[in-house]
């Protein structure tokens, strides 16, 4: 039809560094009122405050994930609603108890791993993998939708607990970097300095 093909770089979303807009917004605090001075003080130190809150919430997320991993791992060997009684004893099977325990162990692992895959595929596909390549891409200045959203954060934590607790050869260290970046992105939307400045946000 004679039309030129679009430049591939035109389809890539990158950050916009709006220094003037951020500077104008940061100067809108009233100068005489006590509330204005408090807001100015918070604005001055919000980088330190944000870093502390992100670190705290990341640690809480790590603790919750570890608790979930331990719980899921215990379900593979015992019944949670029967004081962790072995599966063979719970069903009253006296013969070949080791085979019943092994079958329950394998089936529980398959169920939890499948649930993890289902939640990620159905609700937050961007939560798959470690998240490190995506985070590095975003730090390079590119925009990736939903990678650092609250939904991705929730599914990341849930899927990580299920898959690691199922016995898969996975680690929590890499994904926790993604979790921390999700918290940082979510909380930065509540600050003047970072909510409208993509460069400082990174």
pLDDT tens, residue by residue, 124-178: 999 998 889 999 888 888 888 889 999 999 999 999 999 999 998 887 888 999 9
pLDDT category at 53 given cuts 50, 70, 90 is very high
153 or 23, higher pLDDT: 153
Cα Rg, the chain, nearest whole Å? 24
pLDDT reading at 68 higher than 80: yes
Q: Do the Cβ atoms of 148 and 34 come closer than 8 Å?
A: no
Most confident of 3-7, 75-79, 187-191: 75-79
Which segment of 12-16, 65-69, 112-116, 176-180 scores lowest on mean pLDDT?
Answer: 12-16
For residue 25, what pLDDT is reported?
52
Taking the model in full, what pTM does it have?
A: 0.79
pLDDT category at 192 given cuts 50, 70, 90 is confident
Whose tokens are 């940082």? That residue is 184
Contacts of 31 (CB under 8 A, 6+ apart): 37
For residue 24, what pLDDT is reported?
46
Task: Say how far apart CA 190 and CA 198 lie, in whole Å.
Answer: 14
- For residue range 94-131, what is the model confidence (pLDDT) as tens digits? 788 889 889 999 999 999 999 999 999 999 999 998 88
For residue 62, what pLDDT is reported?
94
% of the chain with per-residue pLDDT over 70: 79
Question: Rounded mean pLDDT of 186-195?
Answer: 82
Question: Rounded mean pLDDT of 59-73?
Answer: 95
- For residue range 37-47, what is the model confidence (pLDDT) as tens digits? 666 776 677 78
Task: Say how far apart CA 32 and CA 54 lie, in whole Å.
Answer: 32
Helices (H), 124-172: 132-139, 150-165
For residue 92, what pLDDT is reported?
86
């Amino acid at each position: 039809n004679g039309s030129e093909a679009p430049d591939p770089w035109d389809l890539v979303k990158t950050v916009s560094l709006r220094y003037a807009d951020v500077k104008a917004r940061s100067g809108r605090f009233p100068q005489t009122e006590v509330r204005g001075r408090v807001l100015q003080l918070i604005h001055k130190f919000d980088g330190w405050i944000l870093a502390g809150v992100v670190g705290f919430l990341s640690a809480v997320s790590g603790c919750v994930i570890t608790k979930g991993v331990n719980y899921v791992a215990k379900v593979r060997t015992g019944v949670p609603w029967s004081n962790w009684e072995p599966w063979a004893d719970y069903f009253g099977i006296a013969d070949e108890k080791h085979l019943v325990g092994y079958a329950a162990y394998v089936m529980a692992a398959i169920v939890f791993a499948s649930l993890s895959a289902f939640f990620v595929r159905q609700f937050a596909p961007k939560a798959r993998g470690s998240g490190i390549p995506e985070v590095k891409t975003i730090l390079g200045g590119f925009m990736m939708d939903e990678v650092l959203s609250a939904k991705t954060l929730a599914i990341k934590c849930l899927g990580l607990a299920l898959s690691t607790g199922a016995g898969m050869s996975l680690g929590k260290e890499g994904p926790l970097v993604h979790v921390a970046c999700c918290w940082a992105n979510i909380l930065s939307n509540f600050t003047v300095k970072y909510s409208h400045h993509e460069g400082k946000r990174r």
